[in-house]
Amino acid sequence: MHRFLMAAGLLASAFAVPGMAVAEEAANGHGPVIEAQEWSFAPPFGGFKQGQLQRGYRVYKDICASCHSMRFLSFRNLAEVGGPHFSPAAVEILASQVQVTDGPDAKGEMFQRPGRPSDRFPSRFANDEAARAANNGALPPDLSLMAKARAGGADYLYALLTGYQQAPAGFDLTQGMQYNTAFAGHQIAMPNPLVDGIVPYTDGTEP
Identify whether 39 is part of a domain.
yes
Identify whether 181 is part of a domain.
yes
Q: What is the pTM of this model?
A: 0.77
Beta strands (DSSP E) in 2-98 are 18-22, 34-37
Q: Cβ–Cβ contacts within 10 Å for residue 51, how many?
A: 15
Identify whether 108 is part of a domain.
no
Ordered per-residue pLDDT tens for the chain, 207 residues: 555 555 555 544 433 333 333 334 444 445 677 899 999 888 888 888 888 899 989 999 999 999 999 999 999 999 998 889 999 999 999 999 999 999 999 999 999 999 999 999 999 999 999 999 999 899 999 999 888 888 888 999 999 999 999 999 999 999 999 999 999 899 999 999 888 777 777 766 665
Identify whether 30 is part of a domain.
yes
- CA-to-CA distance for 52 and 203, rounded, in angstroms? 10
- Report the first-to-last Cα separation within the chain, whole angstroms: 23
CA quadruple 191, 193, 198, 202: dihedral sign: positive
- CA-to-CA distance for 109 and 94, rounded, in angstroms? 26
Identify whether 180 is part of a domain.
yes
- CA-to-CA distance for 37 and 19, rounded, in angstroms? 5
- CA-to-CA distance for 128 and 111, rounded, in angstroms? 22
- CA-to-CA distance for 10 and 4, rounded, in angstroms? 10
Q: Residue 108: left if φ>0, alpha if ψ -120 to 50, beta else—which one?
A: left
Please report, for the domain that includes residue 158, its CATH number: 1.10.760.10
Structure letter (DSSP) for residue 135: T
Identify whether 60 is part of a domain.
yes
Identify whether 24 is part of a domain.
yes
Q: Which domain covers residue 38, as residue numbers?
A: 1-72+146-207
Identify whether 157 is part of a domain.
yes
